[in-house]
A and B are shown apart, each in its own frame.
Chain A
Amino acid sequence: MRNLIRLATSVAIALTLLLCSAAFSQESDVELPDEPLAAEGDELEALEGADMVIGLEPAADEPPAVEVPLPTHVTVSDLPNDDGTGLVVEFEKAAGETEALTYTVSVGAGPDGPWREIGSFPATKKWKEEVGHYFPGFFWFQKGRADMSSRFHLFVIQDQGDNVPLETGIEYFVKLTASLDGVSRDYAETLSAAPAEQWFDTGRTNVLILAVLFGATVLYFIARARRDPNLFIRKISGLDAVDEAIGRATEMGKPILYLNGMSSLADLSTLAALNILGRVARRVANYESKLTVPCRDPIVLTVAQEIVKAGYTDAGRPDAYNADDIFFLTEDQFSYAAAVCGIMMRDKPAANFFMGYYYAESLILAETGAGTGAIQIAGTDASTQLPFFVTTCDYTLIGEELYAASAYLSREPLVLGSLKGQDMAKVFMMVMIIIGTLLMTFGVIFIKDLFKALG
Chain B
Amino acid sequence: MQFIRKQFPVMLAFVMGMMMFIREFVPAKFSEQLYYGFTDWAIVIVGFSAVFAILSLLHHHMNKVRKRAQGYGYSIITILAFIQMITLSLIFSVRPGTPGGWEYQWLFVPMQATMFATLAFFIASAAFRAFRARTWEALALLIAGLIVMIGRVPIGEFISPHLSTFADWIMNNPSMAGFRGIILGVALAQIAIAVRIIFGIERTYMGGGD
Using CB atoms and an 8 Å cutoff, list the residues of chain A in contact with chain B.
Answer: 81-84, 168, 197-201, 204, 207-208, 211, 214-215, 218-219, 222, 266, 268, 271-272, 274-275, 278-279, 282, 295, 298-299, 301-303, 306-307, 309-311, 313-314, 324, 327-330, 332, 334-335, 337-338, 342, 346-347, 360, 363-364, 367-368, 370, 381, 383, 386-388, 390-392, 398-400, 402-404, 406, 410, 412, 414-415, 418-419, 421-422, 425-426, 429, 455
Q: A214-B191, A298-B50, A311-B209 are in contact. Are A197 and B179 (CB under 8 A)?
A: no
Residues of B with Cβ closer than 8 Å to A? 21, 24-29, 31-32, 42, 45-46, 49-50, 52-54, 56-57, 59-60, 63, 70-71, 74, 111-112, 115-116, 118-119, 122-123, 125-127, 129-130, 179, 182-186, 188-197, 199, 201-202, 204-210
A219 to B119, CA, bound (A): 44
* Contact partners of A400 in chain B: CB under 8 A: 182, 185-186, 188-189
Main secondary structure of the interface of A (DSSP, over half): helix
Nearest CB in chain A: distance from B37 CB, A: 15
Asked if B129 and A392 make an inter-chain contact with CB atoms under 8 angstroms apart, the answer reads: yes
Do residues A215 and B191 form an inter-chain contact, with CB atoms below 8 A? yes
Residues of A within 8 A of B118 (CB): 364
Among residues of A, the one whose C-beta sits closest to the C-beta of B31 is A83
- Contact between chains at A279 and B195 (CB < 8 Å): no
A329 B57 Cβ-Cβ under 8 A: yes
Contact B27 A429 (CB under 8 A): no
Residues of chain A within 8 A (CB-CB) of B125 are 367
**B205 contacts across to A, CB distance below 8 A:** 271, 274-275, 278, 303, 307
Asked if B122 and A268 make an inter-chain contact with CB atoms under 8 angstroms apart, the answer reads no
Q: Which residues of A contact B46 (CB under 8 A)?
A: 298-299
A-B contact pairs, 14 of them (CB 8 A): A200-B25, A218-B196, A274-B204, A279-B204, A282-B209, A298-B53, A299-B46, A299-B49, A328-B53, A347-B70, A363-B126, A381-B182, A399-B183, A415-B202
State whether B29 touches A399 (Cβ < 8 A). no
Contact across chains for A84 and B28 when beta carbons are under 8 A apart: yes
The 9 closest A-B pairs by CB, nearest first: A298-B53, A403-B189, A310-B207, A306-B207, A400-B189, A298-B49, A400-B185, A334-B115, A278-B204
Give Cα distance in the complex from A410 to B205, angstroms: 13
A380 to chain B, nearest CB (A): 10
Assess A360 versus B29: contact at CB under 8 Å? Given A204-B24, A272-B193, A310-B207: no
Instruction: Report chain A residues within 8 Å CB of B204.
Output: 274-275, 278-279, 307, 406, 410
State A242–B146 Cα separation when bound (angstroms): 34
Given contacts A211-B21, A391-B129, 6 further A-B contacts (CB under 8 A): A218-B191, A268-B190, A279-B209, A301-B56, A303-B207, A327-B56
- Measured between C-beta atoms, what is the minimum distance from B26 to chain A in Å? 6
Instruction: Please tell me if the beta carbons of A429 and B201 are within 8 angstroms of each other in the complex.
Output: no
Distance A275 CA – B196 CA, assembled complex (angstroms): 12
Q: How far is the CA of A339 from the CA of B130 in the complex (A)?
A: 26
Q: What residues of B have a CB within 8 angstroms of the CB of A201 in the complex?
A: 25-27
CA–CA, A86 to B138, complex, Å?
A: 55
| Contact between A392 and B207, CB atoms less than 8 A apart | no
A418 to B194, CA, bound (A): 11
Beta-carbon contact of B115 and A218 below 8 Å: no
Min distance, Cβ B68 to any Cβ of chain A, angstroms: 14
Most chain B CB within 10 A, of A274, A295, A311, A399, is at: A399
Are the C-beta atoms of B195 and A219 separated by less than 8 Å?
A: yes
Q: A82 to B25, alpha carbons, bound, how many Å?
A: 11
Q: Which residue of B lies closest to A371 (CB)?
A: B125
Chain A residues near B29 (CB, 8 Å)?
A: 83-84, 168, 197
Give A422 to B190 CA distance when docked, in angstroms: 10
Interface centre among A207, A218, A310, A346 (most CB of B within 10 A): A218
CB pair B59 A324 closer than 8 Å? yes
Considering the complex, give the chain A residue whose CB is closest to the CB of B32: A83
Q: How far is the CA of A128 from the CA of B115 in the complex (A)?
A: 49
Give B178's nearest chain A residue, CB to CB.
Answer: A383
Residues from chain B with Cβ under 8 Å of A399 in the complex: 182-183, 185-186, 189
Asked whether A310 lies within 8 Å of B209 as measured between CB atoms, the reply is yes
A264 and chain B: residue at smallest CB distance: B46
Whether A388 contacts B57 by the Cβ 8 Å rule is no
Chain A neighbourhood of B54, CB < 8 A? 328
Q: A298 near B52 (CB under 8 angstroms)?
A: yes
Knowing A392-B129, A403-B193, the reply to whether A418 touches B201 (Cβ < 8 A) is yes
Known: A83-B29, A302-B49, A334-B112. A328 touches B57 (CB 8 A): yes
